[in-house]
A and B are shown apart, each in its own frame.
Chain A
Amino acid sequence: MNILKVEKISKKIGKKQILKNISFELNSGDILAFIGPNGAGKTTTIKCILGLQKINSGNIFINGYDIKKDFNKAIAKTGCIVESPDVYLYLSGMDNLKIQARMYKNVIKDDINRVIELVGLEKRIYDKVSKYSLGMKQRLGIAISLLNSPSLLILDEPTNGLDPEGIKDLRILLKRLAKSGVAIMISSHNLSELESFCNKVCIISNGKIVEETSISEVKEMDENKYIMKVNDSTLCKGHLKTIDKIIDKKHIEVIKDENEIAIFIKELIESNILIYEVIKQRMTLEEAFIKKAKGENHDKTSAQRNN
């Protein structure tokens, strides 16, 4: 089921075009990694989706409701953290939750207790937020965003300030939410944190979507790099191509597709070389992103050259 549909949105501030024809979709159960360098337009896109900034053109639909026409209905089942979990520091965590809960129609006390438990803030919920660490504020922010049992959850840099344990908990929580049908959009700089549990990725650069694809597709950009452990790497020299290399006495690095590697292994065995290990090196999302970005730059340079 389609939860979020962003259709060719553009945003101009003064003369500067901040977003150019941004389009992407998010279905129930999707976890979208919204990736881009600083100033690429990630937060502006999120703010436009949430109605915090007006768009100059395009459409945004949440649960089928146009945010321009049916804002209340569109936003009713949306939870979010934008930029940072900015709550009322002079109030306790509980008072903050109560204030946020009161703004929804059907959020009851049980919902408050449920989200407190979900983020593990039971012990400190009555403390003033001004006494919270950044990680605790982040947990409170997540609790607030889950108060209305959202079908769309938008989290802007949610791992900021969280310790490894907190990140792990968040990962588990988000996976669980996605499983229950919540569509989640996460923007983050830390790509390696997202790749393990996101199923979609959207790369934004200079206000444009550079890539919108599934994680598996990104991984297909993999170079088919294999690391092999052998008894003596120098013996392999005659079998290596120019793109392959010897790493050390016992390790070699080869780039081959599935068929080629099978034949290569057979060749080595026939040459009486002992093979102890063959490991396929998977490219990280970050490496894929750098590769993609490099590719974009390369394309741009070539285009300029051709012109």
Chain B
Amino acid sequence: MIKLVHNEIIKLLKKKSFYIVTIIFILFCILTNVVYKTPFNNSLNEQIDIAKLKEQTAKLNLDNEEELLIYIENSTQIELEELKDKYTSSIQEYLITHFLYSDIYNKYESKYIYEDNDLYTKYEQTVSNKVNYIKNENFKFFLEERISYLEDRVSKTVGIEQVRYTKLLEYTKYRQKNNVPYDYNNYLNNSLDFLEENIYEYINLQNDDNLTEDEEKRLEYLNENMSIHEYVIDNQKDILNEQTLREVLINFSGEFGIFILIYTIMAAGSIVSEEYQKGTIKYLLTKPHKRISILTSKLIVLLMLIPLIMLFMCIIEIIIGGLILGYDSLCIPVVLYKNNLLYTYPVITYLVSLLVSVFPMYLIVGLISFMISSITLSTSGAITIGFLAYLLGNIISNLALIYKLPIFKYFVSLYWDFSYIITGKTIAYNITLPISFIIIFLYIVIILCITYVTFIKKDVKNI
């Protein structure tokens, strides 16, 4: 049997198609990693066209009260944008956006509404001073100012308001203690930002007993994301950085799963039928081995191929991804939010678990191709039906999430993907592990019975 398996491996490894798919995979791998490396502008703020805004502002009638307010708003915006054009570092941009608006607005308000020159001069001076700090990227000034403001609010508020300000003060003091700059490019800053922005709504929703459906969904979202951002600042791990090898590996199944499928179906769909098509079956079956052993050797190679291909693809991705994105991120754990709790896994453990959890899916699709290949002796037919089985299986799984028809329960595709155990994603019905195993086992037994009986009984027809 070992010698038969050895032969099958050689036949498989020496096929041109194997190398063609591998080259395509490597190119795809490079491309995927480059895409991950390329930063995308996730800023939701629309770029403001200053020239257009200035033109609109110039046309406003300052005697009209409403237009005067728009004039003040626009002037503030224009000044902010001009400052951003002048001071372009990520720290400067952050400080301009977050700490200058009210002073500039007050400045214009005192000039055009209150028509108070002293007040105007005072605000102008304040703005000028702050711009100086911004120029020097001195974020600590703003930090201290915010701490004193928040301390003041904590002392002057009660109830939920006080809880909120206490929390905000806590975040700001964390920033001070850990010297976290106000900087868009700093992951701790971004997490603190998320926490600061959402804490008010979060506390409110937590204390509200009559939540609407939308509010409950929002609370669920905040529960998950607040926990994740808390994890980031507590552990100081940049788990949300998407431009890393770690992120590519987390999404490995999704990004490269199609190649596992191609390798599997390509091998399974041709391993028997090609021998018949090329006539080599005649040499194979006229050797002192039972047909059952010959088919089993092919089956063993298939069973070995899937995990080996997964391993091979992971190694290639880690090498290519590491060269493009660096290896540093591999020591940052994968953090998942499941059932109101955070779970952490080392990246490689997570990747291996995920691949093991989807193994039954590739195995069954491969076995379907293997069966069709043995029955029809048509490689193209076996490959096509293999892909269709995969697609149809996924469609049925998705349909089962929407329409819980009893008939769907008999399809193996509902059970062949165990990744929900790791990722905690929703699945149709309340599937238990023993039922999943039993159904997968039954499918495998039926497929193999049909394959073996057909192969053993089949005559080698004359050309």
Contacts of B286 in A (CB 8 A): 50-52, 75, 78, 80, 82
**Interfacial residues of chain A within 69-121, with CB under 8 A of chain B in the complex:** 71-73, 75-76, 78, 80, 82-84, 86-91, 95, 99-100, 102-105
Tally of contact residues, A, Cβ under 8 A = 33
A52 touches B289 (CB 8 A): no
B419 to chain A, nearest CB (A): 37
Is B180 interfacial (CB 8 A cutoff)?
no
Nearest-CB residue, chain B, relative to A42: B462
B409 to chain A, nearest CB (A): 40
Select A103's contact among B4, B290, B457, B462, beta carbons within 8 Å: B4
Is B424 interfacial (CB 8 A cutoff)?
no
Is B425 interfacial (CB 8 A cutoff)?
no
A44 touches B462 (CB 8 A): yes
A224 to B398, CA, bound (A): 86
Nearest-CB residue, chain B, relative to A92: B14
Select B288's contact among A75, A82, A83, A88, beta carbons within 8 Å: A75
Q: Which of B31-39, B277-285, B350-358 contacts A (4 or more CB under 8 A)?
A: B277-285
Contacts of B10 in A (CB 8 A): 91, 95, 99
Nearest-CB residue, chain B, relative to A47: B460
Is B404 interfacial (CB 8 A cutoff)?
no
Is B3 interfacial (CB 8 A cutoff)?
yes
A103 touches B288 (CB 8 A): yes
Task: Decide yes or no: A83 and B14 within 8 Å by CB, A51-B286, A72-B290, A103-B4 being known contacts.
Answer: no
Is A142 interfacial (CB 8 A cutoff)?
no
A86 to B459, CA, bound (A): 17
Task: Decide yes or no: A53 and B14 within 8 Å by CB, A84-B279, A86-B283, A102-B7 being known contacts.
Answer: no
Say which size band chain B's interface belongs to.
20 to 34
Nearest-CB residue, chain A, relative to B6: A102
Contacts of A71 in B (CB 8 A): 288, 290
Select B3's contact among A75, A82, A83, A102, beta carbons within 8 Å: A102
Nearest-CB residue, chain A, relative to B274: A88
Contacts of B279 in A (CB 8 A): 83-84, 86
A54 to B285, CA, bound (A): 13
Nearest-CB residue, chain B, relative to A101: B3
Contact with A along B1-39 (1 / 0, CB 8 A): 001101100110011100000000000000000000000
Contacts of B6 in A (CB 8 A): 102
Task: Decide yes or no: A90 and B288 within 8 Å by CB, A52-B282, A52-B460 being known contacts.
Answer: no
A87 to B279, CA, bound (A): 8
B309 to chain A, nearest CB (A): 20
Select B289's contact among A43, A95, A103, beta carbons within 8 Å: A103
Task: Decide yes or no: A87 and B14 within 8 Å by CB, A72-B290, A103-B289 being known contacts.
Answer: no
B282 touches A86 (CB 8 A): yes
**Interfacial residues of chain B within 290-311, with CB under 8 A of chain A in the complex:** 290
Contacts of B177 in A (CB 8 A): none
A-B contact pairs, 13 of them (CB 8 A): A50-B282, A51-B286, A54-B457, A84-B463, A87-B280, A88-B11, A90-B14, A100-B287, A102-B4, A103-B4, A103-B284, A103-B287, A103-B289
Known: A52-B282, A100-B287. 14 other contacts (CB 8 A): A47-B462, A50-B286, A52-B459, A52-B460, A53-B459, A54-B457, A72-B288, A72-B290, A82-B282, A87-B280, A88-B14, A95-B10, A102-B4, A104-B288
